[in-house]
Amino acid sequence: MSKHDSSLSKDQYNLLKSLKKQISTPSPKAEPVAPAEKTPEQEQQEDLDFFRKQMQGVQKMSAGNIAKVEKSIKKKPDAQILAKRASAVGPMETDDAQLSDTQAMLNPVASQAILSYRIATLQHRVFEDLKAGNLRWFEAVDLHGCTVEDARSAVLQIIQMAKDENQNVIKIVHGKGPQAILKTHVNSWLRQHRDVLAFVSAPETQGGTGAVLVLLKRAEKNPKFKQ
């Protein structure tokens, strides 16, 4: 297009020339702006602000809705309760065990005496483990405060309980009073019971001469055990 073209005025010509110049000359590209580096404190504050924003409306759980889990503590059966239970429900099945008091009257033991008994066929190693307290006992009964009859019933029941659960070690706490009456009777009864393989005074940490650890026949070895 000529400068002297009569169809365009001077102003129109200058405007057109300016537009052509802008089109032919590319505009410089803008340099990317690097993000500003944040300090660890700023990042931590941003995370905290984000957490608070997300936790809006959340309420703390009431302590009353939390179930309390208490560890159960295994207690020794109360001998008098066992005796009363026997009186209420009648005699338990004890394989017709007859525990005489004659041996007790003829063979009293001292309060500090160490009780020890084993059948001839019991392995020495097993007896030594029983004596050392290495065999874990299934259940224990405390005869303190019992009459002789209550103690007899409790001893029979604790043995039967172990047999019913197919366990073979129990603990009997007979005490060591001045006359050692219950200790003497327990010593006699256990020697008569056909399911007793051995018994021995407990280690000092488990009652010493005031208690005995008793080893019983396993239930499956008992001919009257019902599978």
Query: Which residues constitute the domain of residue 107?
Result: 98-221
pTM of the model: 0.59
C-alpha 116/C-alpha 190 separation (Å) is 11
Identify the DSSP state of 118: E
Confidence (pLDDT) at 47:
80
Q: Side chain identity at 43, as an amino acid letter?
A: E
Which is more confident, 183 or 74? 183
The kind and range of the H/E element at 173 are strand 169-173
Confidence (pLDDT) at 92:
47
Which is more confident, 220 or 103? 103
C-alpha 218/C-alpha 216 separation (Å) is 6
Please state whether 90 falls in left (phi above 0), alpha (psi between -120 and 50) or beta. left
Domain count, the chain: 1
C-alpha 86/C-alpha 92 separation (Å) is 7
Residue 216 forms part of a structural domain? yes
| For residue 94, pLDDT beyond 50 | no
Residue 109 forms part of a structural domain? yes
Query: How much is the average pLDDT of 215-226?
Result: 67
HSE, CB side, 13 Å, CA atoms: give it for residue 135: 24
| For residue 31, pLDDT beyond 50 | yes
Contact by Cβ (8 Å): 124, 158: no
Confidence (pLDDT) at 43:
80
Residue 33 forms part of a structural domain? no
CATH number, domain of 182, equals 3.30.1370.110
> In the structure, what pLDDT confidence band is assigned to residue 65 with cuts at 50, 70 and 90?
low
Strands 169-173 and 139-142: parallel
C-alpha 130/C-alpha 213 separation (Å) is 7
Residue 77 forms part of a structural domain? no
Residue 183 forms part of a structural domain? yes
Residues whose CB is less than 8 angstroms from the CB of residue 226 and which lie 6 or more positions away in sequence, other chains included:
none
133-181 residue pLDDT tens: 999 999 999 999 899 999 999 999 999 999 999 999 999 999 988 889 9
Query: How much is the average pLDDT of 7-22?
Result: 71
Which is more confident, 22 or 76? 22
Residue 74 forms part of a structural domain? no
Confidence (pLDDT) at 82:
61
101-142 residue pLDDT tens: 888 888 899 999 999 999 999 999 999 999 999 999 999 999
